[in-house]
Amino acid sequence: MAKTSRVHAADLRGISRLTVDGIAGVVDVVEAMHCNIASVPGLRAKSQRRRTHGITGLVYRSIRGIVGLAGYGLDRLLARLAPLLGEHSTWRGRDPLIAALNGVLGDYLAASDNPLAITMRLRSGGIPLPDERATLATAIPQATGKLVVLLHGLCMNDLQWKRKGHDHGAALARDLAYTPVYLHYNSGLHISTNGRAFADMLEALVQRWPVPLTELVVIGHSMGGLVARSACHHGAAKRHAWLQRLDRLVFVGTPHHGAPLERGGNWVDALLASNAYSAPLARLGKIRSAGITDLRYGNLVDEDWIKRDRFERSRDLRVPIALPDGVACYDIAATTGKVAGDLSDLLIGDGIVPLASALGQHANPKLALTFEPSRQWIAYGTSHLDLLSRPEVYAQIHRWLAVPG
């Protein structure tokens, strides 16, 4: 890695805003704990106060005011320096860092107009595709009639499809003449928000594809599979043309029914909130993004979360969404266990997604997904990220797509 790098001016502004907001948030938590400890403790956390009074309150208000003024001044200064700082970074770690930050705080970054918030783009080689048909043909001169669109997972970006020297999209281009296009999106937004935007974006892409389209395939890794399913739902509601052209949908390690890590986080929220002394700390857990809380059960549509407190404990209230009609759907799950029936299958799956969730299995038949047995496959001794690089995983995708639909 080069020792020197150019820094995005927008990155500096975004980091400064996030730092100021973070300091202000910590001040709020400390003041709430100060207030509760100084008060007579009650039995329930609902009786807590979040603001102190008198001289103590004045001190906290002053700190917040100073932090706010400093942040405002720094933001204006960086805005003036933007033309001098350059717009491109040569640091290879930038994109993964920004992607991870968006996964954790992406909804907040977008709502606060933070420059670090990722704007959804379809990209090739990390470069956004142009909006016009003629310029698209120039940008992808090797375009074929076989289009495959790949969607990354939570806290990741489109460039991370390449792992350990392998990229499923590039391999499909080499072996089966597909043209790969990669979605880059803010994984901290609600899955339904990203699904709706992706449906609209795919509709525009299909209309301006530079050569006659003969096949359309979508591959989603992890959360990307949920975004793809949400897009199919929104595409059907809007009667999009791309959904009629969609031939195959491939899920790779997709948590169709959620992931236990987020459900565990929800338990921690409830535990901390149950005590007046620890309740302020529960606010730290509630900074996690809408995209993460959607993974508790695998929310796909607005009705799964709208008008609900996403941090409150609740049962699975999802609207049942079936696999899209007329589309050949394939599913790859993984487990760290070496053989079928290993305890890892039940407990940890691939380390992030349980095997049953990845296979679409559910005790409620209305929520269970029906895949043809020949269109499901389990990768043993494989972790969640290894699904992106294991030769046998690609070999299975290749076998499915090599057969004419």
Q: In the predicted model, what is the mean pLDDT of the chain?
A: 80
> pLDDT band at residue 379, thresholds of 50, 70 and 90?
very high
Query: Is residue 301 one of the residues assigned to a domain?
Result: no
Domain count, the chain: 2
Residue 219 and residue 132 share a domain: yes
Q: How many CB atoms lie within 10 A of CB 231?
A: 34
Percent of the chain with pLDDT over 70: 69
Question: Per the domain annotation, does 126 fall within a domain?
Answer: yes
Number of Cβ within 10 Å of residue 235's Cβ equals 23
Same domain, 245 and 162: yes
**Tokens describing residue 334:** 């993984």
Are 339 and 248 found together in one domain? yes
pLDDT band at 334 (very low <50, low <70, confident <90, very high): very high
Nearest to 184 by CA among 207, 155, 222: 155
Say whether both 168 and 50 belong to one domain: no
Query: Of 304, 296, 359, 310, which Cα lies nearest the Cα of 331?
Result: 359
What residue numbers bound the domain in which 371 lies? 121-258+318-402
Determine the pLDDT at residue 95. Answer: 84
Q: What local confidence, expressed as pLDDT, does residue 281 receive?
A: 42
pTM, to two decimals: 0.79
Q: Cα(244)–Cα(12) distance, rounded to whole angstroms?
A: 44
CATH code, 348: 3.40.50.1820
Query: Is residue 275, in this structure, part of any structural domain at all?
Result: no
Query: Are residues 24 and 76 both part of a single domain?
Result: yes
Is residue 74 included in any domain, yes or no?
yes
pLDDT of residue 271: 44
Q: Does a structural domain hold residue 308?
A: no
pLDDT in tens, 87-128: 455 566 778 888 888 888 889 888 888 788 899 999 999 999
Q: Which tokens in the block code for residue 132?
A: 């016009």
Asked whether residue 328 falls in the same domain as residue 381, the answer is: yes
Residue 370 placed within a domain: yes
Q: What percent of the chain has pLDDT over 90?
A: 55
Strand partners, 167: 162
Lowest mean pLDDT among 74-78, 125-129, 138-142: 74-78
Q: What is the pLDDT of residue 193?
A: 98
Is the Cβ–Cβ distance between 23 and 103 less than 8 Å?
A: no
Distance of CA 10 to the CA centre of its chain: 22
Note whether residue 350 is domain-resident.
yes
Considering only CA atoms, which of 15, 338, 291, 50 is closest in space to residue 154?
291
Could you tell me which of 273, 221, 227 has the C-alpha nearest to residue 382?
221
Average pLDDT for 242-263: 91
Tokens 């090739």, residue located: 124
> Which of 218, 227, 387 shows the shortest CA–CA distance to 298?
227
Average pLDDT over residues 66-91: 50
Q: What is the pLDDT of residues 190-212, one digit of tens each?
A: 999 999 999 999 999 999 999 99
Is residue 98, in this structure, part of any structural domain at all?
no
